[in-house]
Structure 1
Protein backbone atom coordinates (compact mmCIF):
# COMPACT_ATOMS: atom_id res chain seq x y z
CA UNK A 1 0.00 0.00 0.00
CA UNK A 2 1.06 3.62 -0.52
CA UNK A 3 0.23 6.88 1.23
CA UNK A 4 0.01 10.12 -0.76
CA UNK A 5 -0.17 13.49 0.99
CA UNK A 6 -0.70 17.16 0.15
CA UNK A 7 -1.00 20.30 2.21
CA UNK A 8 0.60 22.08 5.15
CA UNK A 9 4.09 20.76 5.99
CA UNK A 10 5.41 23.52 8.24
CA UNK A 11 6.15 21.00 11.02
CA UNK A 12 7.25 18.25 8.58
CA UNK A 13 4.01 16.45 9.39
CA UNK A 14 3.95 14.98 5.87
CA UNK A 15 7.49 13.58 6.02
CA UNK A 16 7.80 9.99 7.26
CA UNK A 17 11.25 9.19 5.86
CA UNK A 18 14.30 10.15 7.95
CA UNK A 19 15.71 13.36 6.53
CA UNK A 20 18.96 15.19 7.14
CA UNK A 21 18.53 17.92 9.71
CA UNK A 22 18.08 21.32 8.15
CA UNK A 23 17.45 24.82 9.44
CA UNK A 24 15.40 25.66 6.35
CA UNK A 25 11.64 25.88 6.78
CA UNK A 26 10.00 22.96 4.95
CA UNK A 27 7.75 23.74 2.00
CA UNK A 28 4.09 22.81 1.83
CA UNK A 29 3.29 19.89 -0.45
CA UNK A 30 1.05 21.29 -3.19
CA UNK A 31 0.31 18.11 -5.14
CA UNK A 32 -0.29 14.58 -3.90
CA UNK A 33 3.11 13.03 -3.30
CA UNK A 34 3.97 9.53 -2.10
CA UNK A 35 5.25 9.81 1.48
CA UNK A 36 5.03 6.24 2.80
CA UNK A 37 4.81 2.64 1.55
CA UNK A 38 3.97 -0.46 3.60
CA UNK A 39 1.93 -3.64 3.40
CA UNK A 40 -0.64 -1.95 5.69
CA UNK A 41 -1.43 1.77 5.97
CA UNK A 42 -4.15 3.51 7.94
CA UNK A 43 -4.05 7.24 8.72
CA UNK A 44 -5.14 7.21 12.34
CA UNK A 45 -4.75 10.83 13.38
CA UNK A 46 -3.89 14.03 11.52
CA UNK A 47 -3.56 17.25 13.50
CA UNK A 48 -2.22 20.64 12.47
CA UNK A 49 1.35 19.77 13.48
CA UNK A 50 1.71 15.98 13.34
CA UNK A 51 0.38 12.84 11.66
CA UNK A 52 0.09 9.30 13.04
CA UNK A 53 -0.17 6.38 10.61
CA UNK A 54 -0.71 2.73 11.52
CA UNK A 55 1.54 0.37 9.56
CA UNK A 56 2.38 -3.34 9.62
CA UNK A 57 5.22 -2.59 12.04
CA UNK A 58 3.31 -0.24 14.36
CA UNK A 59 2.57 3.47 14.48
CA UNK A 60 4.69 5.94 12.54
CA UNK A 61 4.80 9.61 13.53
CA UNK A 62 5.60 12.63 11.40
CA UNK A 63 5.77 16.24 12.47
CA UNK A 64 6.11 18.14 15.72
CA UNK A 65 4.53 16.76 18.86
CA UNK A 66 5.10 18.58 22.16
CA UNK A 67 1.94 18.69 24.24
CA UNK A 68 1.01 17.76 27.82
CA UNK A 69 0.32 14.06 28.23
CA UNK A 70 -3.36 14.61 28.97
CA UNK A 71 -3.96 16.37 25.64
CA UNK A 72 -1.71 14.19 23.54
CA UNK A 73 -2.56 11.30 21.25
CA UNK A 74 -3.23 8.79 24.01
CA UNK A 75 -4.75 5.48 23.01
CA UNK A 76 -8.21 6.62 24.08
CA UNK A 77 -8.00 9.82 22.01
CA UNK A 78 -6.92 7.80 19.00
CA UNK A 79 -9.91 5.52 19.44
CA UNK A 80 -12.83 5.91 17.03
CA UNK A 81 -15.05 6.48 20.09
CA UNK A 82 -13.08 9.41 21.53
CA UNK A 83 -12.35 12.88 20.18
CA UNK A 84 -10.95 16.27 21.14
CA UNK A 85 -12.82 19.44 20.16
CA UNK A 86 -11.11 22.67 19.19
CA UNK A 87 -12.30 24.35 22.39
CA UNK A 88 -10.26 21.96 24.55
CA UNK A 89 -12.78 19.32 25.59
CA UNK A 90 -12.42 15.54 25.35
CA UNK A 91 -15.38 13.17 24.87
CA UNK A 92 -15.02 9.40 25.37
CA UNK A 93 -17.43 6.45 25.22
CA UNK A 94 -17.21 3.73 27.88
CA UNK A 95 -18.24 0.92 25.52
CA UNK A 96 -21.60 0.41 27.20
CA UNK A 97 -24.01 3.34 27.46
CA UNK A 98 -22.16 6.40 28.72
CA UNK A 99 -20.21 9.27 27.12
CA UNK A 100 -18.04 11.39 29.39
CA UNK A 101 -16.94 14.90 28.49
CA UNK A 102 -14.20 16.76 30.35
CA UNK A 103 -11.63 19.47 29.91
CA UNK A 104 -8.15 18.54 28.70
CA UNK A 105 -6.50 20.52 31.48
CA UNK A 106 -4.08 18.45 33.55
CA UNK A 107 -6.02 19.39 36.69
CA UNK A 108 -9.80 19.46 36.62
CA UNK A 109 -12.71 19.22 39.04
CA UNK A 110 -16.10 17.56 38.90
CA UNK A 111 -17.55 20.78 37.50
CA UNK A 112 -15.30 20.34 34.45
CA UNK A 113 -16.90 16.97 33.66
CA UNK A 114 -20.26 15.95 32.18
CA UNK A 115 -21.66 12.43 31.94
CA UNK A 116 -24.26 11.51 29.31
CA UNK A 117 -26.08 8.20 29.71
CA UNK A 118 -28.44 6.13 27.53
CA UNK A 119 -26.13 6.30 24.51
CA UNK A 120 -25.92 2.68 23.41
CA UNK A 121 -23.73 0.99 20.76
CA UNK A 122 -21.74 4.12 19.89
CA UNK A 123 -19.29 3.26 17.09
CA UNK A 124 -17.87 6.71 16.37
CA UNK A 125 -17.30 10.05 18.10
CA UNK A 126 -15.89 12.98 16.11
CA UNK A 127 -15.24 16.57 17.11
CA UNK A 128 -15.47 19.97 15.49
CA UNK A 129 -14.33 23.35 16.79
CA UNK A 130 -17.00 23.75 19.48
CA UNK A 131 -18.61 20.36 19.99
CA UNK A 132 -19.07 16.67 19.23
CA UNK A 133 -20.99 14.22 17.07
CA UNK A 134 -21.67 10.58 17.95
CA UNK A 135 -22.89 7.73 15.74
CA UNK A 136 -24.50 4.51 16.93
CA UNK A 137 -24.49 1.10 15.27
CA UNK A 138 -28.13 1.52 14.24
CA UNK A 139 -27.39 4.82 12.47
CA UNK A 140 -28.53 7.32 15.09
CA UNK A 141 -26.58 10.60 15.17
CA UNK A 142 -26.28 12.76 18.28
CA UNK A 143 -24.74 16.25 18.44
CA UNK A 144 -23.86 18.57 21.31
CA UNK A 145 -21.77 21.68 21.86
CA UNK A 146 -21.80 25.46 22.08
CA UNK A 147 -25.24 26.97 21.43
CA UNK A 148 -23.62 30.06 19.90
CA UNK A 149 -22.67 27.89 16.91
CA UNK A 150 -26.00 26.10 16.59
CA UNK A 151 -25.64 25.42 12.85
CA UNK A 152 -23.12 22.68 13.60
CA UNK A 153 -25.69 20.85 15.74
CA UNK A 154 -27.92 20.08 12.74
CA UNK A 155 -30.97 20.08 14.97
CA UNK A 156 -33.34 22.39 16.81
CA UNK A 157 -32.22 23.52 20.24
CA UNK A 158 -35.06 23.43 22.80
CA UNK A 159 -35.50 23.32 26.55
CA UNK A 160 -35.90 19.54 26.37
CA UNK A 161 -32.99 19.16 23.92
CA UNK A 162 -30.37 21.77 24.90
CA UNK A 163 -27.21 22.39 22.87
CA UNK A 164 -24.84 21.24 25.60
CA UNK A 165 -26.37 17.74 25.87
CA UNK A 166 -26.49 15.05 23.16
CA UNK A 167 -29.59 15.39 21.00
CA UNK A 168 -30.69 13.28 18.06
CA UNK A 169 -30.39 14.74 14.57
CA UNK A 170 -33.88 13.71 13.49
CA UNK A 171 -33.40 14.81 9.87
CA UNK A 172 -31.01 11.86 9.46
CA UNK A 173 -33.67 9.31 10.42
CA UNK A 174 -35.39 7.22 7.72
CA UNK A 175 -33.26 8.46 4.83
CA UNK A 176 -33.97 7.15 1.30
CA UNK A 177 -30.59 5.43 1.00
CA UNK A 178 -30.47 3.85 4.43
CA UNK A 179 -28.92 4.57 7.78
CA UNK A 180 -25.82 6.64 8.52
CA UNK A 181 -22.68 4.48 8.69
CA UNK A 182 -19.89 7.06 9.07
CA UNK A 183 -19.46 10.64 10.28
CA UNK A 184 -16.70 13.26 10.04
CA UNK A 185 -16.30 16.78 11.40
CA UNK A 186 -13.83 19.66 11.57
CA UNK A 187 -13.94 23.42 11.81
CA UNK A 188 -17.63 24.26 11.88
CA UNK A 189 -18.92 21.52 9.59
CA UNK A 190 -20.21 17.95 9.94
CA UNK A 191 -20.63 15.28 7.24
CA UNK A 192 -22.44 11.93 7.34
CA UNK A 193 -22.55 9.02 4.87
CA UNK A 194 -25.41 6.58 4.36
CA UNK A 195 -25.08 2.88 3.63
CA UNK A 196 -26.41 3.70 0.15
CA UNK A 197 -23.38 6.01 -0.49
CA UNK A 198 -25.20 9.37 -0.11
CA UNK A 199 -23.35 12.20 1.63
CA UNK A 200 -25.04 14.77 3.89
CA UNK A 201 -23.56 17.96 5.39
CA UNK A 202 -24.48 20.74 7.77
CA UNK A 203 -22.86 23.62 9.67
CA UNK A 204 -21.22 26.91 8.80
CA UNK A 205 -17.74 28.41 8.56
CA UNK A 206 -17.48 31.67 10.46
CA UNK A 207 -15.62 34.38 8.55
CA UNK A 208 -15.55 32.13 5.47
CA UNK A 209 -17.74 31.74 2.45
CA UNK A 210 -19.91 28.63 2.74
CA UNK A 211 -17.85 25.64 1.69
CA UNK A 212 -20.88 24.07 0.06
CA UNK A 213 -23.79 25.93 -1.50
CA UNK A 214 -26.26 23.75 0.42
CA UNK A 215 -24.52 24.15 3.80
CA UNK A 216 -26.96 25.20 6.53
CA UNK A 217 -28.06 24.33 10.04
CA UNK A 218 -29.89 21.22 8.78
CA UNK A 219 -28.45 18.13 7.07
CA UNK A 220 -28.64 18.49 3.30
CA UNK A 221 -27.53 16.04 0.58
CA UNK A 222 -24.20 16.81 -1.09
CA UNK A 223 -23.96 16.35 -4.86
CA UNK A 224 -20.42 15.39 -5.88
CA UNK A 225 -20.86 15.41 -9.66
CA UNK A 226 -23.69 12.86 -9.23
CA UNK A 227 -21.28 10.26 -7.80
CA UNK A 228 -21.91 7.72 -5.07
CA UNK A 229 -19.45 8.19 -2.21
CA UNK A 230 -17.47 5.40 -0.55
CA UNK A 231 -15.19 7.43 1.75
CA UNK A 232 -14.79 11.06 2.84
CA UNK A 233 -13.07 13.36 5.29
CA UNK A 234 -13.15 17.04 6.20
CA UNK A 235 -10.53 19.58 7.25
CA UNK A 236 -10.96 23.04 8.73
CA UNK A 237 -11.98 24.54 5.37
CA UNK A 238 -11.82 21.72 2.82
CA UNK A 239 -13.33 18.32 2.00
CA UNK A 240 -11.92 15.25 0.25
CA UNK A 241 -14.11 12.39 -0.98
CA UNK A 242 -13.59 9.04 -2.70
CA UNK A 243 -16.29 7.90 -5.09
CA UNK A 244 -17.49 4.35 -5.61
CA UNK A 245 -15.88 4.53 -9.04
CA UNK A 246 -12.49 5.16 -7.41
CA UNK A 247 -12.08 8.87 -8.18
CA UNK A 248 -11.02 11.52 -5.66
CA UNK A 249 -12.67 14.94 -5.53
CA UNK A 250 -11.75 17.93 -3.36
CA UNK A 251 -13.34 21.29 -2.61
CA UNK A 252 -12.62 24.33 -0.46
CA UNK A 253 -9.56 26.33 0.57
CA UNK A 254 -6.18 25.46 -0.95
CA UNK A 255 -3.92 27.96 0.81
CA UNK A 256 -1.51 25.20 1.88
CA UNK A 257 -2.03 22.98 -1.17
CA UNK A 258 -4.36 20.64 0.70
CA UNK A 259 -6.55 20.10 -2.37
CA UNK A 260 -3.60 18.78 -4.36
CA UNK A 261 -4.54 21.14 -7.20
CA UNK A 262 -2.96 24.23 -8.75
CA UNK A 263 -5.52 26.79 -7.59
CA UNK A 264 -6.08 28.98 -4.55
CA UNK A 265 -9.51 27.68 -3.62
CA UNK A 266 -12.62 26.31 -5.26
CA UNK A 267 -16.32 26.21 -4.51
CA UNK A 268 -16.81 23.52 -7.16
CA UNK A 269 -15.92 19.86 -6.81
CA UNK A 270 -12.62 19.23 -8.61
CA UNK A 271 -11.31 15.81 -9.57
CA UNK A 272 -7.76 15.07 -8.46
CA UNK A 273 -5.61 13.69 -11.31
CA UNK A 274 -4.59 10.13 -10.44
CA UNK A 275 -2.81 9.01 -13.60
CA UNK A 276 0.58 9.46 -11.97
CA UNK A 277 0.00 6.77 -9.34
CA UNK A 278 -2.20 4.34 -11.28
CA UNK A 279 -3.18 2.29 -8.23
CA UNK A 280 -6.54 1.42 -6.69
CA UNK A 281 -7.55 4.05 -4.15
CA UNK A 282 -8.93 2.53 -0.94
CA UNK A 283 -9.36 5.53 1.37
CA UNK A 284 -9.00 9.25 2.01
CA UNK A 285 -8.32 11.34 5.10
CA UNK A 286 -8.09 15.05 5.89
CA UNK A 287 -6.14 16.91 8.52
CA UNK A 288 -6.96 20.53 9.39
CA UNK A 289 -4.88 21.77 6.40
CA UNK A 290 -3.80 18.53 4.72
CA UNK A 291 -5.19 15.62 2.72
CA UNK A 292 -4.19 11.99 2.38
CA UNK A 293 -4.93 9.27 -0.18
CA UNK A 294 -4.31 5.58 0.56
CA UNK A 295 -3.84 3.16 -2.33
CA UNK A 296 -3.08 -0.52 -2.67
CA UNK A 297 -0.64 -2.05 -5.11
CA UNK A 298 -3.27 -3.48 -7.44
CA UNK A 299 -3.83 -1.44 -10.57
CA UNK A 300 -7.23 0.18 -10.86
CA UNK A 301 -9.43 -1.46 -13.45
Structure 2
Protein backbone atom coordinates (compact mmCIF):
# COMPACT_ATOMS: atom_id res chain seq x y z
CA UNK A 1 0.00 0.00 0.00
CA UNK A 2 1.03 3.60 -0.60
CA UNK A 3 -0.19 6.99 0.56
CA UNK A 4 0.12 9.81 -1.97
CA UNK A 5 -0.09 13.43 -0.81
CA UNK A 6 -0.33 16.92 -2.25
CA UNK A 7 -1.00 20.41 -0.94
CA UNK A 8 -0.15 22.67 1.99
CA UNK A 9 3.16 21.70 3.62
CA UNK A 10 4.33 24.69 5.67
CA UNK A 11 5.04 22.54 8.74
CA UNK A 12 6.51 19.61 6.81
CA UNK A 13 3.40 17.56 7.50
CA UNK A 14 3.62 15.96 4.06
CA UNK A 15 7.31 15.00 4.36
CA UNK A 16 7.32 12.21 6.92
CA UNK A 17 10.40 10.39 5.66
CA UNK A 18 12.16 13.19 3.79
CA UNK A 19 14.79 14.47 6.25
CA UNK A 20 15.96 17.17 3.86
CA UNK A 21 12.44 18.56 3.51
CA UNK A 22 11.73 18.36 7.24
CA UNK A 23 14.89 20.33 8.01
CA UNK A 24 13.83 23.19 5.74
CA UNK A 25 12.70 26.37 7.51
CA UNK A 26 9.83 26.72 5.05
CA UNK A 27 9.09 23.37 3.37
CA UNK A 28 7.66 23.61 -0.12
CA UNK A 29 4.01 22.87 -0.85
CA UNK A 30 3.42 19.81 -3.03
CA UNK A 31 1.75 20.90 -6.27
CA UNK A 32 1.23 17.35 -7.53
CA UNK A 33 0.76 14.00 -5.80
CA UNK A 34 3.93 12.49 -4.32
CA UNK A 35 4.42 9.22 -2.42
CA UNK A 36 4.26 9.95 1.32
CA UNK A 37 4.91 6.47 2.68
CA UNK A 38 4.40 2.81 1.80
CA UNK A 39 3.83 -0.33 3.84
CA UNK A 40 1.78 -3.53 3.92
CA UNK A 41 -0.88 -1.80 6.04
CA UNK A 42 -1.62 1.94 6.12
CA UNK A 43 -4.36 4.17 7.49
CA UNK A 44 -4.83 7.94 7.78
CA UNK A 45 -5.99 8.52 11.36
CA UNK A 46 -6.13 12.31 11.68
CA UNK A 47 -5.27 15.41 9.69
CA UNK A 48 -4.71 18.87 11.17
CA UNK A 49 -3.34 22.15 9.87
CA UNK A 50 0.17 21.49 11.18
CA UNK A 51 0.43 17.70 11.52
CA UNK A 52 -0.93 14.34 10.37
CA UNK A 53 -1.27 11.00 12.16
CA UNK A 54 -0.67 7.82 10.16
CA UNK A 55 -0.93 4.18 11.22
CA UNK A 56 1.68 2.05 9.51
CA UNK A 57 1.57 -1.69 10.19
CA UNK A 58 0.31 -1.13 13.73
CA UNK A 59 2.69 1.74 14.52
CA UNK A 60 1.41 5.31 14.99
CA UNK A 61 3.50 7.94 13.20
CA UNK A 62 3.24 11.73 13.28
CA UNK A 63 4.40 14.09 10.53
CA UNK A 64 4.74 17.84 10.96
CA UNK A 65 4.39 19.90 14.14
CA UNK A 66 1.70 18.40 16.40
CA UNK A 67 -0.47 20.72 18.47
CA UNK A 68 -2.00 19.80 21.83
CA UNK A 69 -4.89 17.84 20.36
CA UNK A 70 -2.70 15.88 17.94
CA UNK A 71 -0.42 15.02 20.87
CA UNK A 72 -3.41 13.61 22.76
CA UNK A 73 -4.51 11.62 19.73
CA UNK A 74 -0.99 10.29 19.20
CA UNK A 75 -1.15 8.87 22.73
CA UNK A 76 -4.71 7.53 22.34
CA UNK A 77 -5.21 6.93 18.59
CA UNK A 78 -8.52 5.10 19.14
CA UNK A 79 -10.07 8.52 19.75
CA UNK A 80 -9.49 9.57 16.13
CA UNK A 81 -12.38 7.58 14.72
CA UNK A 82 -14.99 8.84 17.17
CA UNK A 83 -14.53 12.58 17.47
CA UNK A 84 -14.58 15.74 15.36
CA UNK A 85 -13.31 19.28 15.86
CA UNK A 86 -14.99 22.25 14.19
CA UNK A 87 -13.22 25.41 13.05
CA UNK A 88 -14.71 27.24 16.04
CA UNK A 89 -12.83 24.81 18.36
CA UNK A 90 -15.95 22.99 19.54
CA UNK A 91 -15.44 19.24 19.92
CA UNK A 92 -17.86 16.34 19.65
CA UNK A 93 -16.85 12.86 20.76
CA UNK A 94 -18.35 9.42 21.33
CA UNK A 95 -16.61 8.56 24.57
CA UNK A 96 -16.51 8.38 28.38
CA UNK A 97 -14.04 9.42 31.09
CA UNK A 98 -10.85 7.54 31.75
CA UNK A 99 -9.95 8.72 35.26
CA UNK A 100 -6.30 7.83 34.87
CA UNK A 101 -5.69 9.97 31.79
CA UNK A 102 -8.31 12.66 32.49
CA UNK A 103 -9.29 12.65 28.84
CA UNK A 104 -12.07 10.88 27.02
CA UNK A 105 -11.38 7.41 25.74
CA UNK A 106 -13.26 4.77 23.80
CA UNK A 107 -14.22 2.44 26.63
CA UNK A 108 -17.40 1.69 28.54
CA UNK A 109 -21.11 2.06 28.02
CA UNK A 110 -21.02 5.26 25.93
CA UNK A 111 -19.42 3.46 23.04
CA UNK A 112 -22.06 0.75 23.26
CA UNK A 113 -25.04 3.05 22.81
CA UNK A 114 -23.36 5.40 20.35
CA UNK A 115 -23.79 8.43 22.61
CA UNK A 116 -22.02 11.68 21.82
CA UNK A 117 -20.78 14.49 24.03
CA UNK A 118 -20.06 18.05 23.02
CA UNK A 119 -17.29 20.25 24.42
CA UNK A 120 -16.95 24.00 23.95
CA UNK A 121 -13.15 23.90 23.92
CA UNK A 122 -10.12 21.63 24.11
CA UNK A 123 -9.72 22.68 27.75
CA UNK A 124 -13.21 21.40 28.52
CA UNK A 125 -12.40 18.21 26.62
CA UNK A 126 -9.32 17.62 28.75
CA UNK A 127 -11.20 18.33 31.98
CA UNK A 128 -14.12 16.09 30.99
CA UNK A 129 -16.52 19.04 31.03
CA UNK A 130 -18.83 17.91 28.25
CA UNK A 131 -22.56 17.81 27.63
CA UNK A 132 -24.31 14.61 26.61
CA UNK A 133 -26.26 14.87 23.36
CA UNK A 134 -29.61 13.25 24.07
CA UNK A 135 -32.60 12.00 22.09
CA UNK A 136 -30.59 10.90 19.07
CA UNK A 137 -30.04 7.63 17.27
CA UNK A 138 -26.95 5.50 17.63
CA UNK A 139 -24.17 7.34 15.79
CA UNK A 140 -21.43 5.52 13.92
CA UNK A 141 -19.49 8.52 12.59
CA UNK A 142 -19.24 12.26 13.21
CA UNK A 143 -17.48 14.93 11.10
CA UNK A 144 -17.08 18.70 11.32
CA UNK A 145 -16.40 21.73 9.18
CA UNK A 146 -15.77 25.34 10.22
CA UNK A 147 -19.17 25.90 11.83
CA UNK A 148 -21.19 22.69 12.02
CA UNK A 149 -21.20 19.00 12.89
CA UNK A 150 -22.71 16.14 10.91
CA UNK A 151 -23.36 12.69 12.37
CA UNK A 152 -24.28 9.44 10.64
CA UNK A 153 -26.50 6.93 12.42
CA UNK A 154 -26.38 3.15 12.21
CA UNK A 155 -29.51 3.27 10.03
CA UNK A 156 -28.01 5.70 7.51
CA UNK A 157 -29.76 8.83 8.78
CA UNK A 158 -27.87 12.14 8.79
CA UNK A 159 -28.10 14.62 11.68
CA UNK A 160 -26.63 18.15 11.72
CA UNK A 161 -26.18 21.00 14.19
CA UNK A 162 -24.02 24.09 14.53
CA UNK A 163 -23.80 27.86 14.14
CA UNK A 164 -27.16 29.31 12.98
CA UNK A 165 -25.37 32.14 11.14
CA UNK A 166 -24.19 29.56 8.60
CA UNK A 167 -27.48 27.77 8.10
CA UNK A 168 -26.52 26.43 4.65
CA UNK A 169 -23.99 24.15 6.34
CA UNK A 170 -26.81 22.34 8.14
CA UNK A 171 -28.59 21.11 5.03
CA UNK A 172 -32.01 21.65 6.64
CA UNK A 173 -34.42 24.32 7.76
CA UNK A 174 -33.94 26.00 11.14
CA UNK A 175 -37.29 25.97 12.95
CA UNK A 176 -38.49 26.26 16.53
CA UNK A 177 -38.75 22.49 16.76
CA UNK A 178 -35.46 21.91 14.92
CA UNK A 179 -33.05 24.61 16.02
CA UNK A 180 -29.48 24.90 14.77
CA UNK A 181 -27.94 24.18 18.16
CA UNK A 182 -29.28 20.63 18.57
CA UNK A 183 -28.83 17.58 16.31
CA UNK A 184 -31.76 17.25 13.92
CA UNK A 185 -32.47 14.98 10.99
CA UNK A 186 -31.73 16.06 7.44
CA UNK A 187 -35.04 14.82 6.10
CA UNK A 188 -34.11 15.26 2.44
CA UNK A 189 -31.42 12.57 2.80
CA UNK A 190 -33.93 9.92 3.87
CA UNK A 191 -35.54 7.45 1.47
CA UNK A 192 -33.22 8.29 -1.41
CA UNK A 193 -33.51 6.34 -4.69
CA UNK A 194 -30.20 4.53 -4.19
CA UNK A 195 -30.53 3.78 -0.50
CA UNK A 196 -29.41 5.23 2.82
CA UNK A 197 -26.23 7.21 3.44
CA UNK A 198 -23.09 5.13 4.05
CA UNK A 199 -20.42 7.84 4.40
CA UNK A 200 -20.15 11.54 5.30
CA UNK A 201 -17.27 14.00 4.88
CA UNK A 202 -17.03 17.66 5.83
CA UNK A 203 -14.62 20.60 5.60
CA UNK A 204 -14.57 24.35 5.13
CA UNK A 205 -18.24 25.24 4.72
CA UNK A 206 -19.35 22.07 2.89
CA UNK A 207 -20.52 18.57 3.68
CA UNK A 208 -20.89 15.56 1.39
CA UNK A 209 -22.78 12.29 1.75
CA UNK A 210 -22.57 9.03 -0.20
CA UNK A 211 -25.45 6.59 -0.56
CA UNK A 212 -25.26 2.81 -0.51
CA UNK A 213 -25.87 2.96 -4.26
CA UNK A 214 -22.87 5.29 -4.82
CA UNK A 215 -24.73 8.56 -5.39
CA UNK A 216 -23.12 11.78 -4.12
CA UNK A 217 -24.93 14.65 -2.38
CA UNK A 218 -23.31 17.94 -1.31
CA UNK A 219 -24.58 20.98 0.61
CA UNK A 220 -23.22 24.10 2.32
CA UNK A 221 -21.96 27.58 1.57
CA UNK A 222 -20.59 30.74 3.17
CA UNK A 223 -22.69 33.94 2.93
CA UNK A 224 -21.10 36.38 0.51
CA UNK A 225 -18.57 33.90 -0.87
CA UNK A 226 -18.82 31.93 -4.12
CA UNK A 227 -19.33 28.21 -3.72
CA UNK A 228 -16.89 25.61 -5.01
CA UNK A 229 -19.74 23.95 -6.88
CA UNK A 230 -22.24 25.86 -9.01
CA UNK A 231 -25.04 23.85 -7.44
CA UNK A 232 -23.87 24.32 -3.83
CA UNK A 233 -26.85 25.29 -1.68
CA UNK A 234 -28.42 24.72 1.72
CA UNK A 235 -30.37 21.72 0.42
CA UNK A 236 -28.38 18.55 -0.33
CA UNK A 237 -28.00 18.36 -4.10
CA UNK A 238 -27.05 15.30 -6.18
CA UNK A 239 -23.71 15.69 -7.95
CA UNK A 240 -22.98 14.17 -11.35
CA UNK A 241 -19.35 13.40 -12.22
CA UNK A 242 -19.44 12.12 -15.79
CA UNK A 243 -22.26 9.76 -14.86
CA UNK A 244 -19.94 7.68 -12.67
CA UNK A 245 -20.75 5.81 -9.48
CA UNK A 246 -18.84 7.40 -6.57
CA UNK A 247 -17.39 5.02 -3.98
CA UNK A 248 -15.42 7.47 -1.83
CA UNK A 249 -15.49 11.20 -1.14
CA UNK A 250 -13.30 13.62 0.84
CA UNK A 251 -14.05 17.29 1.57
CA UNK A 252 -11.20 19.64 2.46
CA UNK A 253 -11.28 23.29 3.46
CA UNK A 254 -11.87 24.51 -0.08
CA UNK A 255 -11.66 21.45 -2.33
CA UNK A 256 -13.20 18.01 -2.84
CA UNK A 257 -11.82 14.63 -3.95
CA UNK A 258 -14.04 11.93 -5.45
CA UNK A 259 -13.19 8.31 -6.31
CA UNK A 260 -15.30 6.47 -8.87
CA UNK A 261 -16.20 2.80 -9.09
CA UNK A 262 -13.66 2.50 -11.93
CA UNK A 263 -10.97 3.81 -9.49
CA UNK A 264 -10.66 7.15 -11.27
CA UNK A 265 -9.80 10.19 -9.14
CA UNK A 266 -11.46 13.59 -9.60
CA UNK A 267 -10.90 16.91 -7.82
CA UNK A 268 -12.60 20.30 -7.80
CA UNK A 269 -12.17 23.60 -5.94
CA UNK A 270 -9.18 25.76 -5.08
CA UNK A 271 -5.60 24.59 -5.52
CA UNK A 272 -3.44 27.52 -4.46
CA UNK A 273 -1.33 25.18 -2.30
CA UNK A 274 -1.43 22.18 -4.64
CA UNK A 275 -4.32 20.40 -2.94
CA UNK A 276 -5.99 19.60 -6.28
CA UNK A 277 -2.97 17.52 -7.30
CA UNK A 278 -2.83 19.01 -10.80
CA UNK A 279 -0.83 22.24 -10.31
CA UNK A 280 -3.91 24.41 -10.85
CA UNK A 281 -5.01 27.41 -8.78
CA UNK A 282 -8.71 26.75 -9.24
CA UNK A 283 -11.02 24.26 -10.93
CA UNK A 284 -14.67 25.12 -11.45
CA UNK A 285 -15.34 21.72 -13.04
CA UNK A 286 -14.42 18.21 -11.94
CA UNK A 287 -11.07 17.17 -13.39
CA UNK A 288 -9.51 13.73 -13.44
CA UNK A 289 -6.12 13.34 -11.76
CA UNK A 290 -3.70 10.69 -13.01
CA UNK A 291 -1.49 9.02 -10.38
CA UNK A 292 0.22 6.24 -12.36
CA UNK A 293 0.59 3.63 -9.59
CA UNK A 294 2.47 0.43 -10.32
CA UNK A 295 0.86 -2.10 -12.63
CA UNK A 296 -1.83 -4.02 -10.79
CA UNK A 297 -2.34 -1.32 -8.15
CA UNK A 298 -5.31 1.01 -7.91
CA UNK A 299 -6.79 3.72 -5.69
CA UNK A 300 -8.83 2.40 -2.76
CA UNK A 301 -9.43 5.49 -0.60
CA UNK A 302 -9.27 9.31 -0.57
CA UNK A 303 -8.89 11.74 2.33
CA UNK A 304 -8.70 15.52 2.63
CA UNK A 305 -7.31 17.85 5.28
CA UNK A 306 -6.82 21.58 5.48
CA UNK A 307 -5.71 22.38 1.91
CA UNK A 308 -4.16 18.91 1.68
CA UNK A 309 -5.12 15.73 -0.18
CA UNK A 310 -4.37 12.07 0.51
CA UNK A 311 -4.85 9.09 -1.80
CA UNK A 312 -4.31 5.48 -0.76
CA UNK A 313 -3.33 2.89 -3.39
CA UNK A 314 -2.94 -0.87 -3.16
Same fold per TM (> 0.5)? yes
Provide the aligned length of Structure 1 versus Structure 2. 295
> In terms of mean alpha carbon deviation, does 72-81 or 132-141 score higher?
72-81
Q: Secondary structure at 2:280's aligned position in 1?
A: coil
Question: How high is the TM-score relative to the length of structure 2?
Answer: 0.88
1:148 and 1:240 map into 2 onto residues whose CA distance is 27
Look up the match of 1:185.
Answer: 202
> In terms of mean alpha carbon deviation, does 272-281 or 100-109 score higher?
100-109
**Following TM superposition, by how much is the alpha carbon of 1:24 offset from its aligned partner in structure 2, in angstroms?**
3.6
Deviations 1:79-130 (A, max 9, x none): 33311111011111232153211122425899x7432213232110001111
Look up the match of 2:88.
Answer: 87
CA contact (8 A) 1:77 1:84 kept: no
CA contact (8 A) 1:188 1:206 kept: no
Look up the match of 2:300.
Answer: 282
1:91 and 1:74 map into 2 onto residues whose CA distance is 19
Question: How high is the TM-score relative to the length of structure 1?
Answer: 0.91
Q: Secondary structure at 1:80's aligned position in 2?
A: helix
Q: Does 1:214 align with 2:231?
A: yes
**Following TM superposition, by how much is the alpha carbon of 1:161 offset from its aligned partner in structure 2, in angstroms?**
0.8
Q: Secondary structure at 1:292's aligned position in 2?
A: strand
1:123 and 1:244 map into 2 onto residues whose CA distance is 24
Structure 1: tracts of 5 or more residues without a match: 297-301
**Following TM superposition, by how much is the alpha carbon of 1:19 offset from its aligned partner in structure 2, in angstroms?**
0.5
Query: What CA RMSD, in Å, does the superposition of the two structures yield over aligned residues?
Result: 2.2
Q: Write the mapping of 1:133-282 to structure 2, written as runs, cut at 5 A.
A: 133-206=150-223, 208-275=225-292, 277-278=294-295, 279-282=297-300
> In terms of mean alpha carbon deviation, does 74-83 or 41-50 score higher?
74-83
Q: Secondary structure at 1:245's aligned position in 2?
A: coil
> In terms of mean alpha carbon deviation, does 151-160 or 69-78 score higher?
69-78
Query: Larger % of helix: which?
Result: 2
Look up the match of 2:2.
Answer: 2
**Following TM superposition, by how much is the alpha carbon of 1:35 offset from its aligned partner in structure 2, in angstroms?**
1.3
> In terms of mean alpha carbon deviation, does 50-59 or 169-178 score higher?
50-59
**Following TM superposition, by how much is the alpha carbon of 1:170 offset from its aligned partner in structure 2, in angstroms?**
0.1
